[in-house]
Amino acid sequence: MSAADLSQFDYERDGNQIVLNMGPQHPSTHGVLRLLLTLEGEVMKDVSPDIGYLHRASEWIGQHRNYAQVTPYMSRLDYVAASAQEFAYVEAVERLAGIEVPRRAQYARVILAELTRIASHLLWWATFGNDLGATTVFLYGFRERERVLDLIELMVGARLTHHSYRIGGVAYDVPVGFRERVLDFLEYLRPKLGEYDALLTGNKILIERAQGVGVLPPDQAVAWATSGPVVRGSGVAMDIRRSDPYSAYPDFDFDVVTHDGCDVLSRYLVRMGEIRQSMRIIEQAIKRLPSGPFMAKLPKVFRAPAGDAYGRVETPRGDFSVYVVGDGSGVPVRVRLRSPCFANLQALPVMAHGQKIGDLVAILGSIDIVLGSVDR
Amino acid sequence: MSAATRAQDVWIAAASLVKGLCVTLTNWVARPRITLQYPKERPTIPPRFHGQFILRPDPNRPRGTSCTACLLCWKACPSDVFRIEGTGHGKDRHPLVFEMDLSRCMFCHLCIEACPFDCIAENVDYEFASYSRDSFIQDFDFLSRLDRPQGKLHGELLAEPVEKASDEAGGATDAK
Amino acid sequence: MKETGARTLATWLGRFGLPGWAGDVARMLIAAVAVLVLLLLVVLFLVWLERKVSADIQSRMGPARVGGRFGPLQTVADAIKLLLKEDLIPAQGDRWLFLVAPAIVFLPAYMALVTVPFSDRLVAKDLGVGVVYVVAVLTLPTIGLIMAGWASNNKYSLLGGIRAVAQLVTYEVPFVVAILCVVIMADSLSLTEIVRVQSEQGWFIFRLPLMLAFLIYLIGALSETNRLPFDLPEAESELVAGYHTEYSGLRFAMFFLGEYAMQFFVAALGALLFLGGWSGPWLPGEFWFLIKAFGLILLIMWIRWTYPRLRIDQVMHFGWKFLLPVSLLDLVWTAAWGLWRSGVK
């Protein structure tokens, strides 16, 4: 679909087709997303996403606040996985200013990022099950997510919009007792994941709903610049933590989970696998936590040098990148946000073409978008 | 597809359905209910929680507050929350007007980190919902009240005990 | 109850100078009202039970405030709330159909429940062809659903209504075939007779071909009542609320009532056909019957809160290509079993 292709608004369709509006208010669009579906009976001929309902001018804010003040806004983009966005932004600014982050702070950042990944994937699992009708899955997913949020609250003071990443380190050090709590939580979660595999993953009904649905061939996945579980579910082993490592990730031993199915089920399995890998990383990080300061020494008034830098991070939804341009003052010239959900959503018509309307919910759930990230 | 594989598929499918039922049954009869009957039962809030703001009192200073109206919190705030007017000079400088508009605040904690005298803090109180917008504009007297849960000051939080480095800590540690 | 009740009433009414048949009429009216009241109370209870069961499965507490620690009056509070809501009727829709649809969904369950024997003495109206009547009446709510879907003037509702019809028609056939298996076993169409046979010869579910028939009956029942995994007509996450999207207040409550009434009915029928109805040791028959019916309801709820839902074409595929052949094979098997047993005797 080219930019000037306005035929999508031409409602004079072929006699058999109806246009259904899955409006901004809908239980399953994961936020305020409007989808224009062209249906022939139950089969979707075209899906047209209409976004922008949650646009909050985050990039404008990046140009009118100083570097430290922009960080809290980064949490609010993909509000489900708040720490992941902050990570990208502080990476970018630190690369711009040439700041070296102490190792203890890097480990703390990784622990927070991976806890956020578990929390985000649990929420995805919960909403995915709920969209397919298994309401109990929703409650179970949130029950576990609450425990992760408790851990994050211990360290950060907030549950949803964390603001613990600072330019040069983290806001506060790891509190005493955190290691024990984290290890207890990992022990608690391990058998639960097995239970949830028995409940949903192996379930014949889910397999019927998810296998062969929403196929995105690997070449298309790469062409549409999808990232994260969407591209890994199509067999392409692209993970920024491996291909373009940042922070303390080179210290840790973990697998990049991919599946070859290219359908909803393989994306599902990728995310469940990623939860387990995140647990591995957290365990290694918390057990090997180094000593040292949690914040680099920075001048009281922070000014970044002139230049630009790019910070790329593997968020639970894919490749979130921040491109920061500085001019020597305390306020950035440009903060460009590259959102994974935006790119992944563009692949929706490819995945949905020819599928039935009942599949749309499953496909949208498998892409896992958060409108805060799509619209910024 | 032969009848044998077909039958096997049916068996696997049925088994998966029964396993799902077992999981819900376990949760039905053998797991505790996690609901907290608010307001009788309340959750435990960790000390770092971003809650209600408080101004640290200091009886030796004018207006009984430690705040010197240096305006650093106002400069640090991204959301235009503060309205501060100071009066007095030097050591006697103190705020005449100190208002926070909590409806604008995003509880980012930047003001607390900016304060050089550790005057402003957040406590663990989260129950400040209200029926009117005006009540969110909290003035100096409200913020300095003593009869509320006191929070840990920024300095106290920094001085709290932290998780020690483990013996398995790999790589060189920074001596900075 | 039938004979003695009618006679006592007739003699009593005779004092007022009313003819003999007045006793019969009076008895029928009282029975009809009693069943209606029972149904409404049961539905009230079932809504509360659903909320409690779902909460327990989900590690929550469910209603715990209204009317005591277990929140028994929660449903009453919800009903009052629904009554106070604005009654919206789509301006462009078919008004008459819109108004009539909820009644058509609710009434068949009541009509069928009137013939159900609660014990060997307690039945509102015992029909010799009970099974045929019940099956015929159970097809009526489908009409109500499609009326609601069409009259709402809403694409979502229409889709919901169409799906409902397709699904119900598909699963009606194996459902009836499973019931036919029971009829073959019991050699009678009368519900009281079927229960009587079980009380003498043991519950039907313990006979192998009827175990399979029970499963088929259960799946058919889930489909008839639009319960997960067959709740496509009202699939919230896809169609907002399906065929009852446009209904509000009392009319929505009527749909709800109808749905739970149907659930109670298929559970009661299942208890009668497969679990021996009112037969059981030392407790009065009515208690056993209710225990079995509620046991089935708990099973239905357990299933509902465990599984995701199927897509409509998968529902069709499963119904026509799997369940129907299996149910027909089961019918043959039951017939062979019956022949063998009577041959041995």
Please report the pLDDT score of residue C6 as a whole number.
Answer: 60
pLDDT of residue C16: 67
Rounded Cα distance, A276 and A279, in Å: 5
Sign of the Cα torsion A147, A151, A153, A158 reads negative
pLDDT band for C93, please (50, 70, 90 cuts).
confident
Diameter of chain A measured on Cα atoms: 70
d(CA A13, CA A7): 10
Residues of A with Cβ-Cβ distance to C234 under 8 angstroms? none
Question: Which secondary-structure segment (H or E) carries B100?
Answer: strand B94-101
Q: Does residue A135 have a pLDDT over 90?
A: no
Strands (DSSP E) along chain A, which ranges?
17-22, 34-40, 43-50, 165-166, 169-170, 306-315, 318-327, 334-338
More confident residue, C200 or C182: C182
Interchain pair A176, B24: CB under 8 A: no
For chain C, what is the mean pLDDT? 81
How confident is the model over A262-290, as a mean pLDDT? 91
A65 with B76: Cβ contact below 8 A: no
Query: Between A and C, how many CB-CB pairs are < 8 A?
Result: 75
Q: Give yes or no for residue C94 having a pLDDT over 80.
A: no
Return the closest-CA partner of residue B108 out of A76, A3, A155: A76
Give the range among B64-78, B91-105, C13-27, C202-216 with minimum mean pLDDT.
C13-27
Whole-angstrom distance, CA of residue A62 vs CA of residue A337 = 10
Tokens at A321, concatenated: 């990148």
Q: How many residues in chain C?
A: 345
Which one, of C54, B166, C230, C223, lies nearest residue A139 by Cα?
Answer: C54
Please check whether residue A104 is in contact with residue B165, taking contact to mean a CB–CB distance below 8 angstroms. Answer: yes
C77 pLDDT higher than 70: yes
pLDDT (tens digit, 9 = 90+) per residue, A205-222? Answer: 888 888 888 899 999 899
Report the relative pairing of strands A169-170 and A165-166 from DSSP bridges.
antiparallel
pLDDT tier at B174 (50, 70, 90 boundaries)?
A: very low
- B24 and C64: CB-CB below 8 Å? no
Residue C341 predicted with pLDDT over 80: no
Here the ipTM equals 0.84
Q: Cα distance from B155 to chain A (closest Cα, Å)? A: 11
Percent of chain B with pLDDT over 90: 6
Q: Band the pLDDT of C14: cuts 50, 70, 90.
A: low
pLDDT digits (tens, 9 = 90+) for C102-134: 888 888 888 888 888 777 666 667 777 888 888
Kindly give the pairing relationship between strand B82-87 and strand B94-101.
antiparallel
Per-residue tokens: A105? 């702070």
Alpha-carbon gap, residue B52 to A299, rounded angstroms: 29
pLDDT digit string, tens, across residues A152-188: 998 888 888 888 898 988 988 888 888 889 999 999 9
Least confident of B85-94, C113-122, C136-145: C113-122
Query: Cβ–Cβ contacts within 10 Å for residue A50, how many?
Result: 15
- State the average pLDDT over residues A40-49: 83
Length of chain A: 376
Asked, as a colleague might, if the bond just before B39 is cis with ω within 30 of 0, I would say yes
With vertex at residue C179, the alpha carbon angle to CA C174 and CA C185, rounded to the nearest 5 degrees, is 130
Kindly write down the DSSP assignment for every residue of A223-252, as one continuous string. HTT--THHHHTTT----HHHHS--TTGGGS
Residue with token string 């306020």 = A331
**How many residues are there in chain B?**
176
* A42 at interface of C, judged by CB pairs closer than 8 A: yes
In a 3-state reduction of DSSP, which class is residue C278?
coil
- What average pLDDT score do residues C199-216 get? 83
Amino acid at A262: C
B with C: how many residue pairs have Cβ under 8 Å apart? 35
Q: What are phi and psi of A77, to 5 degrees?
A: -70, -75
C173 vs B: CB within 8 A = no
DSSP state for residue C230 in the 8-state scheme: S
CB contact under 8 A, C314 and A209: yes
CA nearest to A310, candidates A95, A55, A130, A142: A95
Closest CA to A142 of A122, A161, A158, A160: A122
pLDDT, position C176: 92
Which of the four pLDDT bands, split at 50, 70 and 90, describes residue B123? confident
Residues 6+ apart with CB under 8 A from A63: A331, A332, A333, A334, A335
> Is the pLDDT confidence value at A325 over 90?
yes
pLDDT at C15: 65
Its sign, for the CA torsion A275, A276, A280, A283, is positive
Residues A53-92 have pLDDT tens digits of 889 999 999 899 989 899 999 988 988 988 988 999 999 9
Torsion B62-B65-B71-B74 (CA) sign: negative
Look-up: residue for tokens 């709590």? A181
B172 lies within 8 A of chain C by CB: no
* Cα–Cα dist C143/C161, whole Å: 9
User: Interface of chain C against chain A, CB under 8 Å?
Assistant: 54, 57-60, 155-156, 159, 228-229, 231-232, 235-238, 240, 305-314
**CA–CA distance, A228 with A222 (Å, rounded to integer):** 11
The whole-number pLDDT of residue B172 equals 42
Q: Inspect the interface and report whether the beta carbons of A206 and C308 lie closer than 8 Å.
A: yes
Q: Once rounded to an integer, what is the mean pLDDT over residues A199-204? A: 86
Residue B57: is the preceding peptide bond cis (ω within 30°)?
Answer: no
**What subunits make at least 3 CB pairs under 8 angstroms with C?**
A, B
